[in-house]
Structure 1
Amino acid sequence: MDIATVTVLVALVIDFVIRVVAVIVVPRNRRPTSGMAWLLAIFFIPYLGVLLFLLIGYRTLPKKRLAMQAEINKFILDSTQGMERVRLDEPWPPWLASVVELNRNLGAMPLIGDNTATLLGDYNGTFQAMVDDIDRAERYVHVEFYILSLDATTAPFFDALERAVARGVTVLVLMDHIQSMRKPGYRRTKQRLTAAGVRWELMLPLQPFKGKWQRPDLRNHRKLLIVDGSVGYMGSQNVIDRTYNERSNIRRGLKWKDLMTRLEGPIVAGLDAIFLTDWYSETQELLTRDLVEVTQRRVPDALDCQVVPSGPGFTGENNLRLFLALLYYAQERIIITSPYFVPDESILYAITTATQRGIHVELFVSEIGDQALVYHAQRSYYEQLLRAGVKIYMYKAPYILHAKHFTIDDDVAVIGSSNMDMRSFSLNMEVSLMVRGASFVQELRAVEDGYRADSRELTLDEWMKQPLRSTILDNLARLTSAVQ
């Protein structure tokens, strides 16, 4: 045989081996939809498909980081015994205790009472509130954001950090490496932090020459600010101008609409525990001084809160399990706000089952998208949701409704950094806060009413008039969303 024939035979053998090995390896411990998407990629584009699978096919963190996560989880579990002190003066929903136990087993955090919370939906006003609290700091400020960027909007935030350092306050900052690096002014941001005397670290850095490497699309998506262990912020807003300083966003007039919550009470120690976990993961420095410093206090209309961390550092998909439990326990209504709604089968079944049980379900999404692939993948679910009876409200352009929260009946709400999509369930490090308290749910209801007033309802008749090209794009994007 000549060389050409041998080459073809070798290529065919390699191709056959790749397909056989893929059938054995790819579906193992993976969702059927995800496994099928990977197999299709490998079968249609075998060499490129294998390369991509080796690069991003495994969602776990390096063994060292997983061991550190297990260590800090045990510490949190041991050191938070007896912190619960939840309110028993009002009857709990009969199902709530089991959800609290689920969260405790998955994320190690207890349900803690005696808290107060304020919702902040004004973008610049939220920065001003954070600046005011940083200016009152006496001991420490812990900052952790997916995106941290110095610009004209966020400059007062950086100035406040510098003033805190000048007063002798310890200021520690964490920012996601890839996402912060992708924004304009990344080098300027780092230089500003260093000049201010702030200790800062990159989260999940991709620096192979420094021995720092993991699956490149695993990201830390959390947004946290803790001041002296007494005040905490968490939610959806990053530290960046609401246009995200992207030329395409500015050209289209896009502006982000976010929601943060300002917390006081013992639950702030739970938020700080998340920061301490991530600081330890990046620096191997375990800061535990204020983790269990919880002051007894009684406040009117106090809230019971539970922090639920999630991400590839945990063995279970903590946020997915929490969301599923609440969706199935709902008795009257479910209202979901998620900018990137790309559910897996379990979430989709839970939502459509809820409507079939007679539950009123609403979904708030943006009318336009900032990420084409996610936007089209999300749209691919609209027909099924509408046919099931879900009311879909589209927040009007040019705003991107970036808030992430949902309410269950009049009893429980969840707010945090987690989208209701497969990336947030499997690939991102997220933090959610489950809140039990009628006053907080009512406050979120008012926020939802505001969304509804600024949205238009999508009807099935309107949706069925979508052009064929849009349907094709939506379906293709849906297939790629399962490749995890």
Structure 2
Amino acid sequence: MTPDWFGMSLLHTVSGGLVWWAWILLGLDLVVKIIAVGYVPSQRKPSSAMAWLLAIFLLPFIGIALFMLIGSPYINRRRHKIQNSANEMLRTISRDEPDVPEGYTLTPELRSLVSLNRQLTAMPATTGTVVAVHSDYEGSITRMAEAVDTAQDYVNVQIYITAWDDTTDVFFRSLERAVERGVTVRYMFDHVGSWKYPGYRTLGKRLDEIGVKWLVMLPLQPWRWRFRRPDLRNHRKLLVIDGHTGFMGSQNMIDSSYLMKGNIREGRHWIDNMAEVTGPVVALLNSVFAVDWFTECGEELPLLTPSESTEWLSSRPDMLQIIPSGPGFTTEPNLRLFTSIVHHAKKSLVLVSPYFIPDESLLEAITTAAYRGVKVELFVSEKADQPLIEHAQSSYYAELLRAGVRIRRFPYPAVLHSKFMIADHEVVCTGSSNMDMRSFGLNYEITLMSAEGSLLEKMTALAGEYREACTELTSEEWDTRARSRRYIDNVARLTSALQ
């Protein structure tokens, strides 16, 4: 009797039962996994690489198909080239602008933040007057419409989600009146971000009828040979009027219910804020619009330096800096800014984000700050508007609470959609960027940073209003959640790393 060395007879039995095509599939599976191990981690964070490798190893052909569709962290070469060219142009025209405007004295830590932002985005710090921070949803839209009514030359609008509904009609009518006065009105909205909302099919036609020049951002139109990674978004929200007045923040141009029947039935509504600014900072805000406009249609708009726009300033304006970010930047400017601010915090740190799914560096910075004795507060919604995000976000709560972070939840049915950060009552940043991996790597975002001044005061007051409205999540309460909930949270956390 022939001995069975190491179970070889069993192997022969099994292999003998496999047909030729099964061997081919096994071979392809092995080849795919070997290639993936050496290719997927390239220029990718370890957590993202491990998540993709896990998907490919468990579901080889589905995983590799998904990776080919949405696995590339970069945009196409054309968009990347345009962003690089724009950065070089901004550096050239602003080379005589100092990092920090004359007359402002910053601590070494704050000066390093300004230098970091300029190095990554080519945008120097400048001055501007913060007229107001609008936190009333419909009031904000009305105020933007009133500002448009003062336009004499041009109006540039760039808002991620746009719908012409009963709430936003006042704004679009102001655009119509502006066109009738001979004002050039340009409007951009995100293609995928807007298409699921009521009225999208007729939106372009209605804009044509009132004479607005409009474009969709990041169009997903393969039938026109316009290919890109399908989950990229231009998430910016900004408005520029004649180069002297600007708005930017978290609010989309749509009813606060987002026109969804379920939201209307449950009374769900979004809470946002928009900063209204005047002065030189608006020139940089307009530069962000100009780059995106050129990217989508090839039309060049003039880029002005802050020193060329000194009107509409108060006697003591704020020091302000615009920080654009997105797939066109390979250095993740918003993530580096947020992480640096957290590291610099010594006494207090306020974080407000509707979607809080940090990468390892930001999470470690936040928990380390709490362990250092910094009073850290995280403001989120009691219930997020997207279930997967709700679960992914929840998976971080235990370690945050363990570190001493106070988690404050805005009561349902409201969705706290504002996004800002305040550290030590010295520096504040606000804008369109969430503190999640999508905003850091896949979304085009815009952030406004200020050291001291009226923006800091206004955002601190707004944080106080949120604090009064929120309830605090305790460790004792969180520990009672069901095991099934913990499991789903952890699975969602893993999928959030697929970038």
Name the residue aligned to 1:257: 271
Q: Which residue of 2 aligns with 1:373?
A: 388
Partner of 2:201: 187
Aligned to 2:178: 164
Counterpart CA distance in 2 for 1:19 and 1:289 is: 48
The answer to whether structure 1 residue 243 and structure 2 residue 257 are counterparts is yes
Deviations, residues 2-59 of structure 1 (Å, cap 9, x unaligned):
9960011111101111111110111111100000000010011111000000000002
Looking at structure 2, the residues matched to 373 and 422 of structure 1 have their Cα atoms a distance apart, in angstroms, of: 14
In the alignment, does 2:28 pair up with 1:14?
Answer: yes
Moved more, 207-216 or 44-53: 207-216
Change (3 A) 1:166 1:289: farther
Equivalent pair of 1:85/1:114 in contact (CA under 8 Å): no
Q: 2:429: which partner in 1?
A: 414
User: Radius of gyration: which is bigger?
Assistant: 2
Q: CA deviation at 1:440?
A: 2.1
Q: Which moved more, 1:69-78 or 1:162-171?
A: 69-78
Q: Structure 1 residue 37 and structure 2 residue 57: aligned? A: no
**Separation in structure 1 between the aligned mates of residue 70 and residue 273 of structure 2, nearest angstrom:** 31
Q: CA deviation at 1:76?
A: 1.1
Residues 348-376 of structure 1: CA deviation (Å, up to 9, x unaligned): 00001101111110000000111011111
- Code of the residue aligned with 2:451 in structure 1: it is R
- Is this contact kept in 2: 1:86–1:114, CA < 8 A? no
In structure 2, the residue matched to 1:116 is: 130
Give the Å deviation of 1:139.
0.2
Q: CA offset at residue 252 of structure 1? A: 2.6
SS at 1:95 equivalent: helix
Query: 1:160-239, aligned counterparts within 5 Å?
Result: 160-239=174-253
CA distance in 2, matches of 1:69, 1:299: 33
CA deviation after TM superposition for structure 1 residue 208, in Å? 1.4
Alignment of structure 1 residues 335-350 onto 2, 5 Å = 335-350=350-365
Match of 2:67 among 53, 66, 71: 53
Query: Alpha carbons of 1:462 and 1:202: their partners in 2 closer, same or farther (altered >3 Å)?
Result: same
Alignment of 1:459-478 (within 5 A): 459-478=474-493
- Does 1:72 pair with 2:86? yes
Q: What SS does structure 2 have at the residue aligned with 1:450?
A: helix
Structure 2: gaps of 5 or more residues:
1-14
Query: Quick one: percent identity of the two aligned structures?
Result: 45
Partner residue of 2:463 out of 442, 448, 459: 448
Contact 1:219-1:429 at 8 Å conserved across structures: yes
Please give the alpha-carbon distance, in whole angstroms, between the structure 1 residues aligned to 2:18 and 2:26: 12
Structure 2 CA distance for aligned equivalents of residues 253 and 473 of structure 1:
27
Task: Name the SS of the counterpart of 1:352 in structure 2.
Answer: helix
Change (3 A) 1:289 1:23: closer
Q: Tell me, yes or no, if the aligned pair for 2:219 and 2:226 is still in contact at 8 Å.
A: yes
Mapped contact 1:59–1:218 kept (Cα < 8 A): no
Q: Deviations over 1:83-115 (max 9, x none)?
A: 458566564122111111110011110000243
Contact (CA 8 Å) 2:428, 2:450: kept in 1 or not? yes
Question: What are the Cα deviations for residues 163-222 of structure 1, in whole angstroms up to 9, with x where unaligned?
Answer: 101100000011100011111110121111110111101100011122211100011000
Contact 1:422 1:482 in 2 (8 A): yes
The secondary structure found in structure 1 opposite 2:19 is helix
CA 296–82 in structure 1, closer or farther in 2 if over 3 Å, else same: farther
Q: 2:402 aligns with which of 387, 410, 415?
A: 387
Which residue in the other structure is 1:457 paired with? 472
The partner residue of 1:98 within 91, 95, 112 is: 112
> Quick check: 1:27 aligned with 2:48?
no
Structure 1 residue 439 displacement after superposition = 2.9
C-alpha separation between the residues in 2 aligned to 1:162 and 1:114? 28
Q: TM-score with structure 2 length normalisation?
A: 0.94
Pick which of 31-40 and 77-86 moved more.
Answer: 77-86
Amino acid at match of 2:432: S
**Greater Cα offset, 3-12 or 353-362:** 3-12
In 2, Cα distance between equivalents of 1:21 and 1:232: 49
Kept in 2: contact 1:301–1:439 (CA 8 A):
no
d(CA) in 2 for partners of 1:302 and 1:60? 38
In 1, the alpha carbon distance for the partners of 2:480 and 2:98 equals 52
Distance 1:125 1:297, change over 3 A: closer
The whole-number CA distance in structure 2 between the counterparts of 1:447 and 1:373 is: 28
Is residue 280 of structure 2 the alignment partner of residue 269 of structure 1?
no
How many residues matched?
Answer: 484
Residue deviations 1:267-294 (CA, integer Å, cap 9, x gap): 0001000000000100111111655632
- Asked if the contact 2:244–2:309 (Cα under 8 Å) also holds between the matched residues in 1, the reply is no
SS at match of 1:312: coil
1:378–1:215 CA distance, 2 compared to 1 (3 A): same
**1:418 touches 1:430 (CA, 8 Å); kept in 2?**
yes
Cα deviations by residue, 1:132-186 (Å, 9 ceiling, x for unpaired): 0001100000000101111110111111111101100000011100011111110
Give the TM-score, by structure 1 length: 0.97
Q: Distance in 2 between matches of 1:398 and 1:444?
A: 23
- The answer as to whether partners of 2:101 and 2:125 remain within 8 angstroms in 1 is no
> What corresponds to 2:11 in structure 1?
none
Aligned equivalents of 1:383, 1:399: Cα separation in 2: 23
Kept in 2, the 8 Å contact 1:311–1:426? The answer is yes
Corresponding residue of 1:133: 147
Partner secondary structure for residue 304 of structure 1 = strand
